[in-house]
Amino acid sequence: MSRKNEALLIALQESFGDSLLSAQQAFNEITLETTADRSYAVCQSLRDTFGFAQLVDLCGIDYLEYGQADWETHRSSAGFSRGVSKGAHQDSSARPARFAVVYHLLSLEDNQRLRLRVYTTTGDMPMLPSVIGLWKSADWYEREAFDLYGILFEGHPDLRRILTDYGFIGHPFRKDFPLSGHVEMRYDPEKGRVVYEPVSIEPRVLVPRVIR
């Protein structure tokens, strides 16, 4: 760890105290973790006190079945075996919530980057306070996280879909969203327009082939 990052990490831990779930450095970048009820105050302090004036990116995460492989496989000199059984390696229920939002922040003054992971509220409607009041660039990023993950941002002035089609049902980046989707579209020459119909593809699990 560089002396600059070490000093910043110590200052962050002293400033936020119990507001943080964890604070550590990985890949020469500091990562902080906090919860929804404390996220806005942490973000505001990161901007005003620590100089992280720019929000570079914001993205959602779905930890459903995190660390659980679809199939256990065994590699040998002959190649990979066929998957035969379900495997679980990590317990996703140990996390504060299923969904989280990651903020990538940049301090132009100090030339430092920081990653903040915030766990949403629990339940059917994961929610976080919007940070548009702190960083204007959060506008489209929050709409994207809402569209793809269904994460609501309280206080967002125009929270609506930004990538999926009109009338789209569900949130395609959620782990329990079917790979084939819920509907399919085609052009109907008789109606002279695109029509939506229930998906006709049968869902299935693809077992890896043996590589010799």
Q: Using CB atoms within 10 A of its CB, is residue 202 exposed (0-12), middle (13-18) or buried (19+)?
A: exposed
pLDDT at residue 87, rounded to an integer:
47
Query: Where do the domains of the chain lie, and which CATH numbers do they carry?
Result: 3-63+98-161 (3.30.460.80)
pLDDT at residue 88, rounded to an integer:
46
Taking the whole predicted model, whether its pTM rises above 0.85 is answered as: no
Block means of pLDDT (10 residues each) for the chain, 212 residues, are 88 95 91 97 97 97 81 55 49 81 96 96 94 97 97 97 86 89 86 86 64 57
Burial annotation 102-112 (CB, 10 A radius, 16+ → b, else e): bbbbbbeeeeb
pLDDT at residue 156, rounded to an integer:
97
pLDDT at residue 209, rounded to an integer:
58
pLDDT at residue 175, rounded to an integer:
92
pLDDT at residue 178, rounded to an integer:
84
